[in-house]
Chain A
Amino acid sequence: MADKKRVAVVTGAANGIGRAVALRLAAGGFVVALVDLEEDNAAKVEAEIRVAGSEAKAYGIDATDERQVKNVIADVVRQHGGVDAIANIAGGTEYLKRVEELTWEEWKAELNRNLKTTFLFCREVTPIMMDQRCGRIVNTASNYGLTGAALRTPYSAAKAAIIGFSKSLALELGPFGVLVNIIAPGPTDTPRVLAKSTAEARRRWQGLIPLGRTAQAADIAEGVMFLVGPESNYMSGQTLHVNGGLVMS
């Protein structure tokens, strides 16, 4: 059989964890579609992957917009004939606020950024993967989805919702050979996090994490690579915690 390239879509691929996942999947033999609101940074990741000898294409879109999500997936299918894996990494949290201070708009923005983007991309690739009778979906939760976190009610709610959503999707898609799993990163040294956190906060994390350090984006990328690869063939509906032992589920 000719070695037909496997195709992966990575959302939030311009920076941080998404970027590391895109680089890892490209190194692991995937053609990668890089989805991000930050088109210029996504293009940089595309260039980085091409220099390393793999194939990638950047799509600068708003992942909360149904029509744009549809167009990206349609374009990937047109070019490559299918989607073998999707890693929904796009998301994150903007607010650090008490619940009584949150506006409805802020709540919705947080849910949209995390849960809506995940739903839209999953819905779009599902019929394709069902037709293929195979496919891998990896959605991103967080240890906060289990433990909750003060001042992060909408983010924690969105991440818990992603776990419930992904398990339900795993049940729906299992009979079609499509596996759905969840990656749950602990505190990770991404540019966005590092810009916001103080040295003292980082020391505090290190004290709480049994392995004594916060995660690097590459640690999370290895977990995603496992969940889209043959080693996890018989796993679906599971949450892989990559957090140095901070939370043991």
Chain B
Amino acid sequence: MKLKDKVAIVTGAGQGIGRSISLGLAREGASVVVADINGEAAQTVAMEIQQAEVSSLACATDVSKVDSVEKLKDRVLQTFGRIDVLVNNAGIYPACSITEMTKELWDRVVDTNLGGNFICSRAVIPHMRAAKSGRIICVSSTIGYKGAKDGSHYAASKAGIIGFVKALAREVAEDGITVNAICPGVTDTAQPRGHRSDEELFAMKHSIPLGRIGQPGDMAGPVVFLASDGAGYITGQALMVTGGGFMF
């Protein structure tokens, strides 16, 4: 087991990619803090992990709110006494054309997707710094590189994550903390369905060399790797997990 005795926080962990990442980290022995704005969904995932006899804690957390994230951090430290891994996964994607987009919607997307990365990372770094080790893994998106129609807010937030990751990687390298991103391509979760039919979603497989769209489980492996000791010399990088659909 690659992550025995490690404590990992995963945000947006109540469903989709975040849930799969949580299960993947737990499978490698990590105690997983399942944070989600939907406390019930978080509880369900935490119970799933506990049934596999790995410790887990559910937290109802809004990553765009400093108070909420502070509470999360305090609970994690009270329960486990340490934070080894942070996976910034929480994000939203309410598709909208720019002319229809209110400033409020723009702010909500950027505050959650990008601001959440800042708020959560800032909260855990003092503890990782004191431990002289830590792993921060941010979930960006290929859309941060190539854009998407009706996704200007989302693309900006996801591209912002890449800049944030590189800057933070430089800032905390001397503390033994690595910071990396994964960029899923189109993935079979509830999130992209908001503005696409199943037919449209699955038709995208034809543009992917591996012949299928991503499953949430596909995203867990690269995160587990980045969280493991073996990836200790990798920092400031973005791994495209796209079935070859986007190469960088």
A→B interface (CB under 8 Å): 167, 170-171, 173-175, 177, 179, 210-212, 215-216, 219, 222-223, 225-226, 229-245, 248-249
* Most chain A CB atoms below 10 A, which of B232, B236, B248: B236
In-complex Cβ contact of A232 among B208, B215, B225, B238 (8 A): B225
Task: Find out whether the CB atom of A210 lies under 8 angstroms from the CB atom of B173.
Answer: yes
Top 9 A-B residue pairs of the complex, sorted by shortest distance between their CB atoms: A174-B209, A231-B221, A222-B230, A234-B218, A210-B173, A237-B247, A236-B244, A248-B236, A219-B233
Quick check: is B98 within 8 A (CB to CB) of the other chain? no
What string of 1s and 0s marks CB contacts (under 8 Å) between B210-248 and chain A? Answer: 110011001111101100001111111111111110011
In-complex Cβ contact of B237 among A174, A175, A249 (8 A): A249
A134 and B224 CA atoms in complex are apart in Å by: 23
A20, chain B: closest CB distance, angstroms: 12
Q: A212-B173, A212-B174, A233-B221 are in contact. Are A177 and B237 (CB under 8 A)?
A: no
Task: Find out whether the CB atom of B235 lies under 8 angstroms from the CB atom of A236.
Answer: no
B→A interface (CB under 8 Å): 166, 169-170, 173-174, 178, 208-211, 214-215, 218-222, 224-225, 230-244, 247-248
Contacts of A210 in B (CB 8 A): 169-170, 173-174, 235-236
Q: List 11 A–B pairs whose Cβ atoms lie within 8 Å, in order of A's numbering.
A: A175-B211, A210-B169, A211-B233, A211-B235, A231-B221, A234-B210, A235-B241, A237-B209, A239-B248, A243-B234, A248-B236
A93 and B174 CA atoms in complex are apart in Å by: 31
Q: A212-B173, A245-B169 are in contact. Are A232 and B222 (CB under 8 A)?
A: yes
Q: Could you tell me the dominant secondary structure of chain B's interface residues?
A: mixed
Task: Find out whether the CB atom of A234 lies under 8 angstroms from the CB atom of B230.
Answer: no
A235 and B239 CA atoms in complex are apart in Å by: 8
Closest B residue by C-beta to A168:
B247
A239 and B234 CA atoms in complex are apart in Å by: 12
* Most chain A CB atoms below 10 A, which of B170, B232, B247: B247
Contacts of A238 in B (CB 8 A): 239-240, 247-248
* Most chain A CB atoms below 10 A, which of B224, B230, B231, B248: B230
Task: Find out whether the CB atom of B234 lies under 8 angstroms from the CB atom of A248.
Answer: no
In-complex Cβ contact of B235 among A175, A216, A231, A244 (8 A): A244
Task: Find out whether the CB atom of A174 lies under 8 angstroms from the CB atom of B225.
Answer: no
A154, chain B: closest CB distance, angstroms: 24
Task: Find out whether the CB atom of A223 lies under 8 angstroms from the CB atom of B234.
Answer: yes
Task: Find out whether the CB atom of B243 lies under 8 angstroms from the CB atom of A245.
Answer: no
A132, chain B: closest CB distance, angstroms: 15
* Most chain B CB atoms below 10 A, which of A171, A175, A244: A244
In-complex Cβ contact of A222 among B169, B211, B218, B231 (8 A): B231
Task: Find out whether the CB atom of A244 lies under 8 angstroms from the CB atom of B233.
Answer: yes
* Most chain B CB atoms below 10 A, which of A173, A179, A219, A231: A231
Task: Find out whether the CB atom of A231 lies under 8 angstroms from the CB atom of B233.
Answer: no
Task: Find out whether the CB atom of A171 lies under 8 angstroms from the CB atom of B237.
Answer: no
Closest A residue by C-beta to B177:
A211
Task: Find out whether the CB atom of B166 lies under 8 angstroms from the CB atom of A248.
Answer: yes
Task: Find out whether the CB atom of A234 lies under 8 angstroms from the CB atom of B209.
Answer: no
B27, chain A: closest CB distance, angstroms: 11
* Most chain B CB atoms below 10 A, which of A179, A230, A237, A240: A237
Contacts of B215 in A (CB 8 A): 234
* Most chain A CB atoms below 10 A, which of B166, B225, B238, B242: B225
Task: Find out whether the CB atom of B244 lies under 8 angstroms from the CB atom of A171.
Answer: yes
